[in-house]
Structure 1
């Protein structure tokens, strides 16, 4: 019976598109990752806040370069869409944002994001989240987007709320962090939301 329901986003739609570049208000923009951004992934691993709330796992430049290649492969496989947040006038990435756990058939995806200290405090991440949501709904055709984060991470909660993702609830013991199991807030937005 489930096969009688057509996919929300047909297979092949995303990988047929080039990964777009998006302007943001202020000094940053979103673009695909390049090998020159490998130091940003290494710096993310070394940043205690990013390492606490995320799982960067790229300790060496070689591991980071492999991950950047994997970002392109994930786009082609239609499994994830990952962008670098970088200065609009050029320079290395200062953050990462993207949609992971893409389910094109079911029409959903989940945001992931982090910023190095050089990119924090400007409101760029909320703007980037809003911009990618618009792309995911209008251009890709997804129906539902999620943001989850530890209940002890108020910065991520503020980004989700500012980007128009209302809190739907709390998932108990949903994610293992370095200091143990954390309850996670679940924020979501639908294409039909205003």
Structure 2
């Protein structure tokens, strides 16, 4: 039985091209992961702030390299797309950003990010989120991008609000962290919301 509603984004729209490099205002770039990033990823996951909001802990650089290989492979699967956020001049890793839980047929995904300790307080996450969302709406054709964070994660909430993600509600007990279940704040942006003035 044929579907009455066509896919919002056709299968193969991502896998059929190389993962792009996306410029970010302020001298940053969103780029595919490199095996050379493994030491920096390992270093990032030694940070207590990153550990607080993530279920995984890197115990070695080789484990971090394994993650990078998974992140690179995910592009072809079109379910998740992971990028490094780097200094455009030095290529130094300053963070990670991803479109997760993508359902291209429905035109939807969830955005996730973290920043290196040395990059915090400089607007890195906000600028990277804005650049990636603009690309996802304008170049891929996604319709809706969600952003969820623990209600205890005030920094992430500030990024969401600064980048135009409207508050839609609270998902009770939806995120399991090391200290137990957290209520999760749900934000979202629609393509029709238009661009954010500044991040």
Q: Is the 8 A contact 2:126 2:159 kept in 1?
A: yes
SS in 2 for 1:3: coil
Q: Is the 8 A contact 2:55 2:178 kept in 1?
A: no
Per the alignment, residue 184 of structure 2 pairs with 184
RMSD over aligned Cα atoms: 1.4
Structure 1 pair 2–94 and aligned structure 2 pair: CA distance change class (3 A): farther
Q: Is the 8 A contact 1:147 1:160 kept in 2?
A: yes
Distance 2:67 2:133 in 1: 23
Give the drift of 1:66: 1.5
Give the drift of 1:2: 8.2
Structure 1 pair 18–106 and aligned structure 2 pair: CA distance change class (3 A): same
Q: Deviations over 1:57-103 (max 9, x none)?
A: 33211111121111121101111111111111123312100101011
Per the alignment, residue 20 of structure 1 pairs with 20
TM norm structure 2: 0.92
Q: Deviations over 1:142-193 (max 9, x none)?
A: 1100000011111000001111101111111110111111101000001111
The number of residues matched between the two structures is: 194
Mapping 1:60-71, distance limit 5 Å: 60-71=60-71
Give the drift of 1:28: 2.4
Mapping 1:104-115, distance limit 5 Å: 104-115=104-115
Q: Deviations over 1:107-130 (max 9, x none)?
A: 110011001111111112111111
Distance 2:36 2:141 in 1: 31
> Which structure 1 segments of 5+ residues have no match?
none
> Which structure 2 segments of 5+ residues have no match?
195-199
Q: Is the 8 A contact 2:171 2:186 kept in 1?
A: yes
Q: Is the 8 A contact 1:36 1:92 kept in 2?
A: no
SS in 1 for 2:118: helix
SS in 2 for 1:184: strand
Distance 2:65 2:190 in 1: 34
Structure 1 pair 37–80 and aligned structure 2 pair: CA distance change class (3 A): same
SS in 2 for 1:183: strand
Per the alignment, residue 116 of structure 1 pairs with 116
Q: Is the 8 A contact 1:85 1:95 kept in 2?
A: yes
Per the alignment, residue 6 of structure 1 pairs with 6
TM norm structure 1: 0.95
Mapping 1:80-99, distance limit 5 Å: 80-99=80-99
